[in-house]
Amino acid sequence: MLNNLARKLDLTTLRLFAAVQEEGTLTRAAAREAIAVSAASKRLVELEEAIGMPLFVRHARGMELTAAGETLFSHARRVLLSVDAIGHELAEHAQGVRGYVRMVANLSAIVEFLPEDLMLFSRLHEQVKLDLEERPSGSVVKGVADGWADLGICSGEADTGDLQTELYRRDHVVLVMGASHPLARRKHVSFEESLDYDHVGLHADSSINQRTHLAARSSGKPLKMRIHVPGFDAVCRMAQAGMGLGVIPAGVFEAIGRPLGLAAVAIDEPWAHRELRIVVRHADALSPVSRALFDFLRGAEERATPAPSARKPRARK
């Protein structure tokens, strides 16, 4: 079976198979891949014969994957992504680029830390091209595990499974609000106190959104979520307009909230102090340029932490 399957799993057949899953019908898939419908049908039949089981359930309305088809689709997607990456990276080499790193990170990492860290890395490695995509922490983990990203940065609370993780940065979240809000003059509050007021939240998959809902349930009080928005800039603008409180990283407040005239109040909860983690499948299996970025980022927190003074300042007389 393995030898026969290897002969049938050419890239054209894999692309056709993936196209059928994505388009839902053989006719649309064949048109997308510029193959005659009869030739496309023959390829799929031969592939199913090589595997020894059906890959699709055929309906009048289209085609759906069987369990075996789901398994093959997962692997086919990785193979096709790798082939596309090969072509892209080779083209970059022809233009003088010496490496290419696919990276995925959550919103906190992208807004708070990555701009400066990636600029420093780029100065050290001018011929390395970086491709950065923003995703929620759960999708970051999936992207690395599925192989379409070389490394990722996610919340320390994310379930990373068997992936290798290293500390990237530490941060803490604060409550952001308009300057006239009743809590604005406080230096710190418990999260439970904030539940007496309306909140502005991030999208449902955000790790901050999930953490605030969990904290509200633990306190036994409802979270008055007035509106969900897609990003930290929108949270700050809604808070500025008086729509409610927002929970954002302190670094984001300095970059976005303070210029808008907003107030930030510390949250008296252990969960307000967080870690951002780097995730890779296996560091030893990374390409040289991906490994260089991995090593650079895992040293970012240490570089950002001021070294203790070699000696104490002398007391004034």
What percent of the chain lies above the pLDDT cut of 70?
A: 91
Average pLDDT of the segment spanning 93-119: 86
Average pLDDT of the segment spanning 34-42: 93
> Which letter does DSSP use for residue 199 in this model?
E
> What was the pLDDT predicted at 317?
45
Q: Which of 178, 172, 174 is nearest to 260 (CA)?
A: 178
Q: Are 141 and 161 in contact (CB under 8 A)?
A: yes
305 or 95, higher pLDDT: 305
> What was the pLDDT predicted at 314?
53
Q: Is the pLDDT of residue 152 over 90?
A: yes
Confidence of residue 186 (pLDDT cuts 50, 70, 90): very high
Q: Which of 243, 248, 245, 216 is nearest to 231 (CA)?
A: 248
Confidence of residue 92 (pLDDT cuts 50, 70, 90): low
> What was the pLDDT predicted at 6?
64
> What was the pLDDT predicted at 9?
77
> What was the pLDDT predicted at 310?
47
Average pLDDT of the segment spanning 18-36: 93
How confident is the model over 247-273, as pLDDT tens digits? 999 999 999 999 999 999 999 999 999
Q: Are 208 and 247 in contact (CB under 8 A)?
A: yes
Q: Which domains does the chain have, with CATH numbers?
A: 2-78 (1.10.10.10), 87-169+276-302 (3.40.190.10), 170-273 (3.40.190.290)
What percent of the chain lies above the pLDDT cut of 90?
A: 73
Average pLDDT of the segment spanning 125-148: 92
> What was the pLDDT predicted at 10?
85
Q: Is the pLDDT of residue 3 over 70?
A: no
* Residues contacting residue 106 through CB under 8 Å, at least 6 positions apart: 134, 135, 136, 137, 140, 153, 154, 155, 207, 276
> What was the pLDDT predicted at 89?
66
Q: Is the pLDDT of residue 240 over 50?
A: yes
- SS3 category, 167: strand
Distance CA 79, CA 11 (A): 9
Residue 80 CB coordination number (10 Å): 15
Average pLDDT, the chain: 90
Q: Which of 34, 59, 56, 60 is nearest to 45 (CA)?
A: 56
* Residues contacting residue 245 through CB under 8 Å, at least 6 positions apart: 175, 176, 177, 181, 183, 194, 197, 198, 199, 200, 239
Average pLDDT of the segment spanning 153-174: 96
**Per-residue CA distances from 90 to 99, 283, 288 (Å):** 9, 23, 15
Q: Letter for the amino acid at 49?
A: E
- SS3 category, 230: coil
Q: What is the pTM of this model?
A: 0.69
- SS3 category, 264: strand
Phi, psi of 263 (to 5 degrees): -110, 150
Q: Is the pLDDT of residue 311 over 90?
A: no
* 134-138-144-145 Cα dihedral, nearest 10 degrees: -160
